[in-house]
Structure formats: structure tokens, C-alpha cells
Amino acid sequence: MKSVRSCIGTLVVLVLFRVGEIAEACSCSPVHPQQAFCNADVVIKAKVVGKKEVDSGNDIYGNPIKRIQYEIKQIKMFKGPDRHIDVVFTAPSSAVCGVTNLDTNGKKEYLISGKAEANGKMHVILCDLIMPWESMSATQKKSLSQRYQMGCDCKITRCATFPCEISAPEECLWTDWVTEKIIHGRQSDHYACIKRGDGSCAWYRGVAPPKKEFLDVEDP
């Protein structure tokens, strides 16, 4: 009986430990790249050339707050302040949404989006749009310069299960998950949700700028 109680006690401890782990895990809702672009303060193309852990003040109990500091070389800014970004901060662990796996050899180019901080700095989390430049489609790269911005007043609604539909003309229905069983499929890689002349929004595909006829309400 004693050993049974001991086993039950151990099981309870393990369950509570796992609950604690799950509670601390970082969770991100899937977003279309255009949504990530529109939600960000800063969107840049850059190389990462250094990384270190730094103190960033103290919490309410007086304990030091740690952050990872990436030194970067900005190549191009698509959205953000009128100055170069030199430093990117993030949390020290992926469990609290820190981005900890960027290559720091200065060779790989990244698209990095996040929140602006003062003096040429920004903060990023796992839920931000951060990806190797070489893995992006031609449409995604082209859309960073203008097309995504043209649709920031639109709402992209993710379809998790059929049936699903838009509730307003300012919405575009994102169906990659239900049609391809992946989050980032054709619509993510090759489409942008663009506002048209009558105020409605619709998916547009292609590297070329949208035609005037499309903006003047032409079915995509």
C-alpha cells in the first residue's frame, strides 16, 4: 500500500511538472505573411553577425532580466523608422518565445520583422515573421515593397475547417490548411490580399503590380 501511495505521489508530481512545462511554452496563432508584415513595426532584410546574452534591467522582484542581443547588418528596410537597425533583442529561451537559432556567421540573409525599440533597436519573438531570405517565394519578396502594405486595411480570415466563409467584403479567406493540410501553402507563398476601389478586398496573385482593372473591381 505504501508503494502504491508513493507511485501515485510521483505520478502527481510528474503531471504537475508537465502542466508547468506546457504553461510556460510559447504558443503562436498561424498568420499569413501579409498579416505579420502589417502587424510589425519593423520589417528588414539583414545578416546576423553576432550574438550575446545581456542584462536588460530587473523584474519587480529585483531579479535581472536576460535577453539575447543579436548584432545585425541591415541590407534593406521594407517598413520601419528612418534609420538603420543595428541590434535585435529577443527572450533568452524559445519557451518564452525567444528566437534563439539564427545563424551568426554573417553569411545567411534573413527577413526579420518585429517591434521597434529606441536608438536603432528592435525586439522579436517566435510569432513574428522571421525566415531565411532564400526560402521566400518571388511573390513574397516582391510583396514586401508595396503589395502587402496595400492590404493592411484588409482582414485575412483563416479557415480551419470547412465550411467557412467571410463575414464582410473587407476579408480574404485563407484556406491553405483545409485545402493543402499545411499552414503555409499556395495562398501564403503566392497571394496578397489587396484592397480594391470599392473598398472590398480580394486575393491577388503574381509578381507584377496589380492591374488598374483589378483595383477597379475585377474578379481575381
The strand pairing partners of 32, in sequence order, are none
List CB contacts of 182: < 8 A, sequence separation 6 or more. Answer: 176
Would you state the pLDDT for residue 54?
95
The strand pairing partners of 89, in sequence order, are 69, 123
Express each pLDDT in 127-169 by its tens digit.
999 999 999 999 999 999 989 999 999 999 999 998 998 999 9
| Domains of the chain listed by start with CATH number | 39-135 (2.40.50.120), 137-219 (3.90.370.10)
Q: Which three cell numbers stand for residue 67?
A: 535577453
The strand pairing partners of 58, in sequence order, are 64
Buried b (16+ CB within 10 A) or exposed e, 122-135: bbbbbbbbbbebee
Indicate the pTM of the whole model: 0.81
C-alpha R_g of the chain: 22
Give the C-alpha separation, 92 to 88, whole Å: 12
CA angle 97, 184, 173 (to 5 degrees): 105
Buried b (16+ CB within 10 A) or exposed e, 94-119: eeebbbeebeeeeeebbbbbbeebee
pLDDT < 50: residue spans in the chain: 1-23, 218-220
Express each pLDDT in 116-125 by its tens digit.
998 889 999 9
Would you state the pLDDT for residue 210?
62
Would you state the pLDDT for residue 168?
95
Q: Would the annotation count 154 as a binding residue? A: no
Cβ atoms within 10 Å, residue 34 = 28
Question: Which residues of the chain form beta strands (DSSP E)?
Answer: 42-58, 64-79, 87-90, 109-117, 121-123, 130-132, 155-158, 171-174, 191-195, 201-205
